[in-house]
């Protein structure tokens, strides 16, 4: 199964990890991404009208906004989360507000 990036891995409890797709929308509410999401209620909506650069890569600003939104969400849920931007790029987000680059090793948490 091919991965669709970016997504959030959410540690619900030891050994239980949930996954949520990230959907970018502009301020008018139009989808920026063309991915078909099977369960939109299980996704994170990020407001950013230009999340990708001309080469189709997420911009640093879009990544920073995703991390900011996830750190806010963690304050409410207490769940450890990992933002997976691509095959070899992910970032752990902790309830204390810290982040740590995880590379491709997000699956162990």
Cis peptide leading into residue 6 (ω within 30°) = yes
Rounded to the nearest 10°, the torsion over CA 34, 36, 40, 46 is -20
3-state secondary structure of 46: strand
pLDDT of residue 46: 87
- DSSP letter at 37 equals P
CB count in 10 Å sphere of residue 84: 23
94 located within any domain: yes
Consecutive H or E run containing 65? helix 60-77
pLDDT for 34: 43
- Give the residue numbers spanning the domain of 97: 7-101
- Whether 29 and 7 have beta carbons less than 8 Å apart is answered as no
Residue 96 lies in a domain: yes
pLDDT tens across the length of the chain (109 residues): 567 889 999 998 888 888 899 988 887 554 444 444 444 567 888 888 899 999 999 999 999 999 999 999 999 888 999 999 998 999 999 999 999 998 776 665 5
Determine the pLDDT at residue 48.
83
Give the per-residue pLDDT at 92: 94
Count of positions (residues) in the chain: 109
Instruction: Determine if the pTM surpasses 0.75.
Output: yes
Domain count, the chain: 1
The pLDDT score that the predictor gives to residue 39 is 47
Flag whether 107 is in a domain: no
């Amino acid at each position: 199964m091919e991965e669709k990036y970016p997504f959030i891995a959410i540690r619900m409890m030891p050994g239980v990890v949930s996954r949520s797709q990230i959907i970018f929308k502009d301020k008018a509410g139009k989808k920026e991404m063309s991915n078909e999401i099977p369960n939109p209620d299980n996704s994170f909506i990020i407001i950013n009208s230009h999340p990708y650069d001309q080469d189709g890569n997420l911009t640093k600003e879009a990544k920073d906004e995703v991390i900011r939104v996830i750190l806010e969400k963690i304050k409410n849920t207490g769940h450890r989360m990992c933002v997976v931007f691509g095959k070899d790029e992910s970032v752990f987000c902790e309830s204390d507000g810290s982040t740590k680059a995880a590379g491709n090793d997000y699956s162990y948490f």
